Structures are given as structure tokens and as C-alpha cells.
Amino acid sequence: MIETWTWQIPFALVGGTVVFLGVLVPALLVQYSAYGRLSLTRLLGTAALSVYGVALVAYTLLPLPDPSVCVGRNGGALQVIPGAVIADIARIVGENGIGSSFALATIAQPLLNIVLFIPLGLLVRAMTGRGIPTAILLGLAASLLIETTQYTGLWGIYDCGYRVADVDDLLTNTAGALVGAVAAPFVAGWVPRPAALAALPPQPVTRIRRLLGSALDAALISVMPAMLHTVAVLAMALVWTVATGARELPDAALTTAALLQPVALLAGVLLTVVLPALRGSGASPGQRLVAIRPLWDGRRGSRRRRLLRALPVAGVYALAPGLADLAAGAHVPLVPSLLNAAAAAVVLGTLVVVLFVDRNGLSGRISGAQMVDRRTPTTPSISTPSDSTPPYSPPSISTDAGS
């Protein structure tokens, strides 16, 4: 009996770790965007939520039985009488004695249902900052989803409900969420509330935050031309099929599709590098996702300064690999290697500068930009700043959280 209740523990630890790694980058983005800083305690809460989610699935839906369990059966098994579990306990204890294993297992079932949902109430209050009613409603919703999944046989995957959907489970699960919600201030008070973090003053931009924004930019820049080219070719094929009924493009259309590659490359550079630099604060897409922006002398820079920040680094990284592919396709000697080397040099230079020289990065060093938290106020303009004004140098900060 003990083994049937404990195998889920290592399963939840391993599966929860995998889930946590999958949501780690989104969690970092949420923290930086909402609070301007990394909260290790909230990351621990996210890890706990990941492990708990896998454990909840394991304890309520696994192991999956052999499909033969539904031979001669169809539909779901439903128990709709509230409190029926109490009558079952009284009957089994009367027949077998309170010390029998059968009676103990029957008594343990509703208690385990309560215990299983206590972490949900705790985590809901700790991670969202919401009150007890929200925790109760989410506990009820989660339990209702589980019972419905059991009743429908994994939403039709099985021909029958291989576990009984029990209204008493719904009640005890919700009671567990209530217990966890009430206990949250005493047990999970170490997790900072979202409102408290958001109310803190802007933080200096850490190296981790800076590199995360650069990695997001690199990913977007790398996929955008291919996405645009694919969409253009698919649109061309769709128009051709609708117009002619033919499913294969003619040679002329294939030639046109090949010519769209440099167009897609330039469009990708325009969308991911040039336009973001000219819009709003001038921050790149990745920088916007982690809530940082460039300032010059405490103010927004001119268009020339913004482009000077974007083009020598992100522009080179965006153009060089695509031009290298085009040059290789045209059998131009040496040029592809030089272009790929330029892209690699930009990546390496960014890493070295951010990690060892200046967290403003290579683009910041080139353009004189200071990377700051998005919530950092802009210095009021007394007169129109000249592009020749020396770069803004803020007071030095001794700590570097997250470096």
C-alpha cells in the first residue's frame, strides 16, 4: 500500500524539474518585466509549483491502465452523494475493525485528498498575492478538472472512466486548498508578494538581465528572415493554387521564391533592428521583454544615436549570416567566411564586454548608451542635447545582484 502512494514522489521531482527548466526563461521574463529584478525566492516558488503540478497529475491520474480495462464497460463512473465516504468508513470499520489495513486505507483516502491540495492553497496565495477566496476557487476548479478528466476517461481516450469521479473528492480537495490558503502567511511568508516587488525602486541592469535580452534578440533576429520567407512562399503557392488549380509551382515561381530570400532578409533586419531602434525608447525587442531601455545623458537619444546603438552590433548579426548564405549560393569565394566571422565576432564581443568590461554591452560602448531599468525616470530636457554630448555616467553602484 505504501508503494502505491510513494512512487509519485521521485516521478514528481524529476518531472517537475523538467517542467521548471521549460518555464524558466518565461519566469525570468515575467520577473524582469514586472519587477525589474530577479527574485530567487519567487523562482524557488516557481520550482515548487512545477514539482507540485506534476505530483498532482501523478497522484490523481496515473498510472494509466491497459485499455482492456474498458472491455464490457462504457461511460464514466460517478459518485454524487456528498458525505458518502463517511458512511463507507463507518461500514468498513464496523465490518473489519478500525485497525485493519482496509479500514486504514479507507480513512486515509479523504485525508490524503485534503493533504494533496494544501500546497495549492499555499502556492496560490504566495505566488499571486491573492486572498483566500481566489485560492478556494482555484482549488475547486483544479479538482473539478481532475474529476471531469477521470469521468470522461481522459476526455475520450478511454471508452470508460477508469477512476470514479467522486463529489467527496471535490469537497475534500477544496478543503485542502482552504487549509493551505489559511496557512500561507505563516508557512510561505518568505515569498515576496508581486505588489511589494513592483513597488520597489528601479534596479541597476544586471549582467544576467542584459545577456538574457541579448539572447532573445539573437533568437528573434535568427528566425525572422526564415519566417518571412516561408510565409511569402506559402502565400505565393496559395494564390497560384487558387488561381490555376495546380498544386505545383512553375519554374518561374520557384525562381521568384528564391529571389524573395534577400527581400525577407532585409525585411527581417527592418523589423527586428531598425524600426525598434527608431520607435519609443529605442530599445530592442529583447530589451523590451526584460524591461530595459537605453538612455543618453539620462535622456532619450536622437535617431542617429539610436541607430548607432543598433546597427553595428544587432545589424551586423542580422545581415551577416544571411548575406553569407547568399554569397555561398552564388559561389563567391572568401566572402561567406568573412561574413560568418563578423557575426561570430559580434556575439563574442557582446559576451566579453558584458561579462568583463561594461554591462551596457558592446552596443552601449559604441554609442555611449546607458542601459537602465524601463521604470527609470528620464531627465527633463532643459535644452536640446547635441549628439556630441559625452555619454552619461551614473554614480557607481557597489552591488550587482544577479551578476
User: Using CA atoms, how far apart are residues 140 and 262, in angstroms rounded to an integer?
Assistant: 54
pLDDT of 401 > 80? The answer is no
Lowest mean pLDDT across 125-134, 207-216, 238-247, 339-348: 238-247
Give yes or no for a cis peptide into 63 (omega within 30° of 0).
Answer: yes
Between 398 and 10, residue with greater pLDDT: 10
Phi-psi region for residue 260, left (φ > 0), alpha (ψ -120 to 50) or beta? alpha
Confidence (pLDDT) at 3: 52
Write the pLDDT tens digit of every residue in 116-141. Answer: 999 999 999 999 889 999 999 999 99
pLDDT of 385 > 70? The answer is no
- Kindly state the average pLDDT of the residues 377-402: 49
pLDDT of 396 > 70? The answer is no
Percent of the chain past pLDDT 90, that is, above it, reads 54
Lowest mean pLDDT across 93-107, 199-213, 320-334: 93-107
Helix H or strand E encompassing 102: helix 101-128
Strand 165-166 to strand 292-295: parallel, antiparallel, or no bridges (unpaired)? unpaired
- Kindly state the average pLDDT of the residues 202-215: 92
- Kindly state the average pLDDT of the residues 91-105: 80
pLDDT of 4 > 80? The answer is no
Confidence (pLDDT) at 403: 36
pLDDT of 234 > 50? The answer is yes
Confidence (pLDDT) at 5: 64
User: Using CA atoms, how far apart are residues 180 and 184, in angstroms rounded to an integer?
Assistant: 6
Confidence (pLDDT) at 90: 85
Q: Which three cell numbers stand for residue 277?
A: 531602434
Lowest mean pLDDT across 66-75, 105-114, 255-264, 301-310: 66-75
> What's the gap between Cα 149 and its chain centre?
26
Confidence (pLDDT) at 114: 95
Between 388 and 362, residue with greater pLDDT: 362
Q: Where are the alpha helices (DSSP H) in 188-250?
A: 194-198, 207-244
pLDDT of 384 > 70? The answer is no
User: Using CA atoms, how far apart are residues 89 and 34, in angstroms rounded to an integer?
Assistant: 49
Write the pLDDT tens digit of every residue in 163-196. Answer: 888 899 999 999 999 999 999 999 888 888 888 8
3-class state of residue 247 by DSSP: coil
User: Using CA atoms, how far apart are residues 375 and 377, in angstroms rounded to an integer?
Assistant: 6
